Amino acid sequence: MNVAPIISALALPIEALVEQRVPKKLLMEQGAPTSADKRQIQDGIEEMMWVAALKPNNVGVPAFRDSVREYLEIAIITVVLRANAKLPRLIELIHRAIPYPLVLIAAHGETANLSVAHKRWSQGEAGKVVIEGIRQAALSPDAPSTDEAAFLASLDLSHLPAGDLFTMYEGLLTRVVALEAARITGSFVPPDSGDRSITLREGVDRHAQLKRELAFLRTRAQKEKQLNRRVELNLEIQRLQTELAAIHEAL
């Protein structure tokens, strides 16, 4: 999978380019808590490149610091994964290993996965950072859908909020969330306010939860032999379907 269209969409300034290979050994030392994780890194990653580092002096956006987090730079990294790679776990391991807020573009088979995750100081271990939750979207950058094309067009750094590096990164994250929402609604519309961003995030997450619950209940209803219990399950299914439709409308 060619990740160049995604890199191009970001419109990275030349001054921010790093273009250095990241050794798997370094990743294993920093982000692999178990021997199984080390094997996943060793066997699942073909190549990892540090493409760019967005800093105040090369993007004209100030750093961000408060009592919760410190964003001195945003890292842009690409990784080429082998066919046997376990994508979700490797994405998590890479995000955990890199101390900076990270835009990770992972090529895996016919798709490219773009993921972001806010980071904050660990409350239990001084000097360590933890991720708050990974948002990700699978793309076909060589032949993007209408929504994917609109998403890529929205990634240009000059279109992102520029108050500081936190708000810039939040701008990227909200665009990923908007693409998640577009998978449901069929229309990519980046949120125009913080409240709208929260609504999208909560709606997308609740939508996914309801889909899982509905699949579980439908399986139970099909297997249920007692008529009264099957009626109860079908009523619960109808209730969740109503909530699902309401979320779809809100998104």
Does 195 map to a domain?
no
Q: Please determine, for residue 31, whether its predicted confidence score (pLDDT) is greater than 80.
A: no
| Measured torsion, CA atoms of residues 79, 21, 171, 212, in degrees rounded to the nearest 10 | 20
Give the pLDDT confidence score for residue 203 in this predicted structure: 92
Q: How confident is the model at residue 180 (pLDDT cuts 50, 70, 90)?
A: very high
Q: Are 117 and 132 in contact (CB under 8 A)?
A: yes
- pTM for the structure as a whole: 0.89
Provide the pLDDT for residue 68: 92
- Is 216 part of a structural domain of the chain? yes
Residue 33 has pLDDT above 80, yes or no: no
Instruction: Give domain status of residue 15, yes or no.
Output: yes
Lowest model confidence (mean pLDDT) among 18-27, 31-40, 116-125: 31-40
Same structural domain for residues 216 and 116? Answer: no
Residues 204 and 186 in one domain: no
Q: How many domains are there within the chain? A: 2
My answer on whether 53 and 124 are in the same domain is yes
| Residue 162 three-state SS | coil
Q: Which residue segment(s) compose the domain that 237 sits in?
A: 200-250
Band of pLDDT at residue 37, cut at 50, 70 and 90:
confident
Q: Are residues 214 and 241 in the same domain?
A: yes
- Cβ-in-10-Å burial (0-12, 13-18, 19+) of 36 comes to exposed
